[in-house]
Amino acid sequence: MAAIGAPVLRKEDPELLTGQARFVDDLTLPGMLWLAVVRSPYAHAKIVKIDVSKALAAEGVVGAFSGEDLAGDIPAGLPCAWPVTEDIHMPTHWALARDKARYAGDGVAVVVAESRALAKDAAELVEVEYEPLPAVTDVGEALADGAPVVHDEFGTNRCYEWPLTAGDVDRAFADAAVTVSERYRQNRLIPVAMEPRGVLVQPVPAQGEYTVWSSTQIPHILRVLLAMTVGVPEAKLRVITPDVGGGFGSKLNVYAEEQLALALARKLGRPIKWIEERSEANVATIHGRDMIQEIELAATAEGKITAVRTHLTAAMGAYLQLVTPGIPLLGAWLYAGCYDVEAYDFVCTGVFTNTTPTDAYRGAGRPEATYAIERAVDALARKVGKDPAEIRRLNFIGEFPANLASGLTVDSGDFHAALDKALAVAGYDNLRTEQAARRKRKDTKELGIGLSAYVEMCGLAPSRILSALRYAAGGWDTATIRCLPTGSVQVLTGTSPHGQGHVTTWSQIVADRLGVDVASVEVLHGDTAVVPLGMDTYGSRSLAVGGVALYHAADKVIDKARAIVAHKLEAAAEDLEYENGRFSVKGSPDQGMTVTEAAFAAWTAHDLPDGMEPGLEGTFVYDPPNFSWPSGAHVAVVEIDTETGAVDLLRYVAVDDVGTVINPTIVDGQVHGGIAQGVAQALFEEAVYDEDGNLLTGSLVNYLVPSAVELPSFEVERTECPSPTNPLGVKGVGETGAIASPAAVMNAVVDALSPWGVEDVRMPATPERVWRAIAEGAS
């Protein structure tokens, strides 16, 4: 049986399930010190004075420092790698705030002590004199006259304005028989990885060398940026990711604590460890979403959309983290969704607020785009009196490759097939019949059916396009395949899995290409001393970039093995056939050799072709020619108790096209996880600040992360249009569920409430919000 496409059980799981995995917090080094960060309780305050003397005098304390104290140790601020426009306002972002604290949780001082408890106790002894200032926390108020300004030097909270226009939008709106104008709010979300962040730095003072263990998604990028900002030569810096318990985008960053731990290990000459607490994570790790979306559609009387106009106001938070400004723009091309439109206008205004910085959170820009267009298409359907499925079919792009009005090219897909399948699996007609029956008998439990069709761009991406978008790094990735003498195969990958199962799927790809067992492939990742170059894991890029690099590296191994076998068999290389890891001479299949046998011959090197290097390995660095374009159609079915406002998600059907599937079990798992997070955005999760800028949802008691109990078992199906862009035919899957589902669920909620004339409920659709919407509709 071919390994690609087989539901191979994850090779990663035995150690995770038996507690043998090793996370940063499992690591202890001799002489290790602990770091604790003193954080501002104010969202906005002038730092008048910081006195660390009491903390320094406390038991077990080795050092206590303010931002000013460390000015010479950390020469540069935290990096932002995505200055999206030439005139963007980029504030300096010191690891510890020096003049002002700009959000509740902003680090202002650190304490280093012999144990975690001693460090925490001493941190409470640091005396910080603040002069509280008025704060702005609401994205909608950031640009209001008189709003407090987060960074005085800019004199405004406007960070940037980024436009994209194609076609004659004004004309399309002037000519439109029907227009729709909607305003939506993307709730602010807190990524809740099971493992909070953590970092441990071991210095070797005699060599000026440092090993950094970090719970990060980006060991390679982190190495480059720590070297640049803390001033350690890259060659003296090794970054290791041990097991990492999830990230969902939040660990795609360079954080203050990483800079601090490295600088303090250098300063104090001892290992330094910092482990984030959950309530600390809620303020000190980036947040996601938080934007206001205004979207308008121009359409014919039948509901054929001619133009889409969008304006976003997107919260950056108090500072720009690694890719903060670019996140809303990852949706910039997608606000016309799966639809064939002539004209397109998009503007995003990024604004500063006195809140935790936002950055990548699963889907990053694309759930927002899908949400806006899919909600607006439902609004259009209501206006022109068409069924939501019918209006989508009327507008779908039908031919591929398809040039989007916004300028990019979708390589493949079949939007009609996905919708048809999703409706068939859901039993759409029966659901509508049941809905009508409940309405007729005035049931207190109304049924709502919501659709969401999406196409997304992931796999980030061709380096040249990233450059055109002013992103500071490339989009390539690396893979090395090394055949060991006894039949095992070692893979070195530049990706950095933290829950996605690359060890398994990379093994499957190699097993198929080289004809070896999945079990005999060893996949090494997440250690810059083992794999020095890579671009890591985010943006559902790993398979479409790193996995394809692996495919090409296998080509190099096969080519060299072919030359060895030809030499051994005294045949011409062109006369060899290759199948399932074995070369045979055309016409005499008994005469042959396997790649494994060639690997042994390459290791002994007793009899290789003249001039050939011993050893059998191949490295490939792959820079993709296009983004990866998954698409699909999802259906959510909700039941709303109209007396309490409670929303119960009864069913969820997902039909996704992720191209060729390497491992259906892993793909299903990715889709399930993504849907759970998207449903959470729609129904449960919201980071809420009070007007002073205190985070009211600072713990998991009041920030409601759903569990399996709140969710049905999702019905996950696929259509499969292999990507013509890469030889594996694969597209990314890591974010699809989170991208499609908020719109599906909210369209279902609004659909259920349509008898009351409700056209919008703000996410998350809590019982209170739903109940109020019904009450207002009824009055």
- CB nearer to ligand MCN: give 148 or 247: 247
- CB nearer to ligand MCN: give 544 or 640: 544
Q: Spell out the residues 6+ positions from residue 66 whose beta carbon is closer than 8 angstroms to its own.
A: 50, 52, 96, 98, 108, 109
Q: Is 605 exposed, middle or buried (0-12, 13-18, 19+ CB in 10 A)?
A: exposed
Q: Which string of DSSP letters, residue by residue, matches 242-292?
A: ------TTTTSS--HHHHHHHHHHHHHSS-EEEE--HHHHHHHS-BEEEEE
> Does residue 285 touch ligand MCN according to CB under 6 A?
no
Q: Out of 659, 693, 698, 764, point to the residue binding ligand MCN (CB under 6 A).
A: 659
Using CA atoms, how far apart are residues 397 and 402, in angstroms rounded to an integer? 7
Q: From residue 332 to residue 371, what is the string marking binding to ligand MCN with x (rule CB under 6 A)?
A: ------------------------------x---------
CB 353 within 8 A of CB 318: yes
- CB nearer to ligand MCN: give 243 or 378: 243
Q: How far is the CB of 97 from ligand MCN (least distance, A)?
A: 28
- CB nearer to ligand MCN: give 121 or 276: 276
Amino acid at 144: A
> Does residue 661 touch ligand MCN according to CB under 6 A?
yes
Q: Which residue's entry shows tokens 């108790």? A: 641
Q: How far is the CB of 538 from ligand MCN (least distance, A)?
A: 5
> Does residue 722 touch ligand MCN according to CB under 6 A?
no
Using CA atoms, how far apart are residues 716 and 736, in angstroms rounded to an integer? 12
Q: How far is the CB of 329 from ligand MCN (least distance, A)?
A: 16
Q: How far is the CB of 723 from ligand MCN (least distance, A)?
A: 9
> Does residue 190 touch ligand MCN according to CB under 6 A?
no
Using CA atoms, how far apart are residues 146 and 585, in angstroms rounded to an integer? 81
Q: How far is the CB of 560 from ligand MCN (least distance, A)?
A: 25
How many residues bind ligand MCN (CB under 6 A)? The answer is: 37
Q: DSSP class of residue 317?
A: E
Order of strands across the sheet that contains 343-352: 158-166, 343-352, 305-317, 288-299, 178-189
Stretch in the footprint of ligand MCN (CB under 6 A) among 26-34, 267-275, 306-314, 654-662 = 654-662
> Does residue 496 touch ligand MCN according to CB under 6 A?
no
> Does residue 247 touch ligand MCN according to CB under 6 A?
yes
Q: How far is the CB of 700 from ligand MCN (least distance, A)?
A: 17
Candidates 366, 412, 713; CA nearest to 540 is 366
Using CA atoms, how far apart are residues 276 and 319, in angstroms rounded to an integer? 20
Q: Out of 211, 349, 353, 505, point to the residue binding ligand MCN (CB under 6 A).
A: 505
Peptide bond connecting 401 to the previous residue in cis, omega within 30 degrees of 0 = yes
Q: Is 301 exposed, middle or buried (0-12, 13-18, 19+ CB in 10 A)?
A: exposed
- CB nearer to ligand MCN: give 452 or 670: 670
- CB nearer to ligand MCN: give 489 or 761: 489
Q: Which two tokens stand for residue 706?
A: 């759903």
Q: Out of 196, 219, 499, 645, point to the residue binding ligand MCN (CB under 6 A).
A: 499
Q: How far is the CB of 196 from ligand MCN (least distance, A)?
A: 13
Candidates 728, 326, 364; CA nearest to 546 is 728
> Does residue 526 touch ligand MCN according to CB under 6 A?
no
Segment 527 to 556, residues that bind ligand MCN, using CB under 6 A:
537-544, 547
Q: Which two tokens stand for residue 595?
A: 């790649």
By the criterion CB under 6 A, which residues form the site for ligand MCN? Answer: 193, 246-249, 362, 498-502, 505, 537-544, 547, 658-663, 666-667, 670, 673, 730-735
